[in-house]
A and B are shown apart, each in its own frame.
Chain A
Amino acid sequence: MGLSPRPQSTPVHQGGDEPWVATRLDFLVNWSRANSLWPMPFGTACCAIEYMATAAAKFDLARFGMERQSFSPRQADVLICAGRVPFKLAPVLRRIWQQMPQPKWAIAMGACASTGNMFDNYAVVQGIDCIIPVDVYVPGCPPRPEGLMYGIMMLQEKVMRERAADVSLRNEMTPDPTSKLYIPPSLIDEISEPFGNSVHQQRSGL
């Protein structure tokens, strides 16, 4: 933030001794948003333990303005999905995301939330970006608190670069089949085939 020396004469402020600040509105808004991100912890597995360690005294998430853990999506800014999400939980996660007011961001904490990890099976969503948009992916299984804090700092940096004039950031889009960016489900299936011999793996080898 630019703290400039007070000019000798200004049409803005004349007289008095109060210091004053000139800045861009974007900067001020983003600065306040980035430093008061209220997290909504969506902890489903071991990453949630690591998240608790991050929030507790030793690593202290409050330093990042995350003092208040928001266990209600209506009063949250950033959804931190810590752990694997089974298909049964997919509508729940999406509902929670829809309940969060704008502006909102999401962090996929750990390999399971980011990609499904080793749970390439019938029950687990292969990355929460199938359900909700994700801003920052934190790798690790589970990531150490330093890793999560680095992800949070990256998110803060991302928030700082946002422009209030860019309304598309706040648009909640549903997939549009007429768009050129739209990937049909069949193509997603084709390109998401895994490598290695697990493609047509049967439990019994029958």
Chain B
Amino acid sequence: MTSPTRKLLSGDEAIALAALHARVALGAGYPGTPSTEILERFSELGGRGQWSPNEKVALEVALGVAFSGARAIATMKHVGLNVAADPLFTAAYTGVSGGLVIVSADDPGMASSQNEQDNRRYAVAASVPMLEPADSQEAYDFLWQAFEISERWKIPVILRVTTRVCHSYTLVNPRGPNGAAKPAHFERDIPGRVMIPAYARPAHRRLRGKMAEIQKWNETSPLNYSVPGNRSVGIIASGISFMHAREAAPAASVLKLSVTYPLPMEKIAAFAKTVDRCVVIEEGDPYLFEAIRAAGIEVEGKAEMYRFGELDVPRVRRILKNDLSPEPAKAPGKPPQLCEGCQYRLVFETLRARDCIVAGDIGCYTLGVLPPFEAMDSCVCMGASLGIGLGLRHVLPRSEARRVVSVIGDSTFIHSGISGLVEMVYNPPPDGHVLIILDNSTTAMTGHQEHPGTGRALNHEPANKIVLEDLARAVGVKRVHIIEPRAGSTDFARVLDECLASGELSVIIARRPCLLIVKRLREFERCDCERKEGHVQQSH
């Protein structure tokens, strides 16, 4: 029963291993739970993984790689695909020469996200094929499969995973490394890749043609298969829901869908005919249910109450029984909080004491919303602190407008705060604005990843550093302050008061490395020194 090659891997780790084995030339992404570990592991295994400033850039870099004939992945959490949606929709038109797989890691139940959007809708909206693995073995296999589809039809493919697949560990038998990587080379294809309207119109038709072919192929693909069972109940499921459904109803017939766009409707119709009652079990939106019903196939869905949160075995049992009684509440756990000694505590205490109106952002510091601080008034998406703060400043009565501040972390600022900063300079509110950048030299929330402002690459080796204060001055902000917030010091409060009173545009960079990485930073610095000394010795 033991096989020497089987490994217990998380879904993320399995995708990373598959990327290595499938000879992915480059993986680009932005950290985001539950996708972060894919590129980290890929890099640890020896793959070339890069953090981009945001998901849009990551997808564009990956697309450039795929235009050259090499294989690329772009990894991101579900909301990251919103940021990358712009290149996604037109990359579907241009297609690719090499394989391009976009890993979209959704977070039903919002373990660590601001919404639980269902990114299966993106595959439909952009018209690209989508695969949904149910465990780590499938995560491994489906990345390979996604490349085969991508290269055969020259189209980007979405590998859609969810938190439970990303962060569950299941056994994987890897097939091992592929032969040589596909060599990169440039082949000019102006009408194929320059999407002016004259070239985009035929590209749209080409795309629909490809999708029609893929749908035909998918009708007979062994990736979608049925598990025989009794005739009374049939279940259609994909992803992790397949596992829950098999356990909840071991006797039922099950149609397992793996390529969930474009759907194999004939196969689904044939399956539905073999059972008396056919139920679609899916997490999140009724995506499969609506598509199957729209095709005229009689299936049951789930009650609205099961649209919220993750599914599990008991919830699937309830759906099958059509049980609408209230679900037992889970005992609340201990909520996360800003670490003891975190420098942001002082920042939020100061903002609270001044009754500031705080347009917040996404990161650890969002915890400033919880008691005892309760010093955050909005948190919408990456970078939104700037625009929302400015909007409030533009229209609020003066007494309120002057209390508005935008608060954003260093990594989030680089991700999508920079264009907000440009907006601040270009359309300044009458009484100016105050932007506080909480610079802890890391992407802390997702587990301390590097970003362009840390001066280190994904693998922690030295990289060019974006200096936040230089950037702020370069776009035209005159008041730029750098403060180290420390308990017992009133420096931060003093500078904040000055900036609020000035009526000018101000940027306060509250800079102090995250407590949790201080030891690691010293280690990096030691390595950097050794590297430099090595160079000196070599030159002698």
A joins B in a complex: no
Task: List the interface of chain B (C-beta within 8 A of A).
Answer: none
> Which A residues lie at the B interface, using CB under 8 A?
none
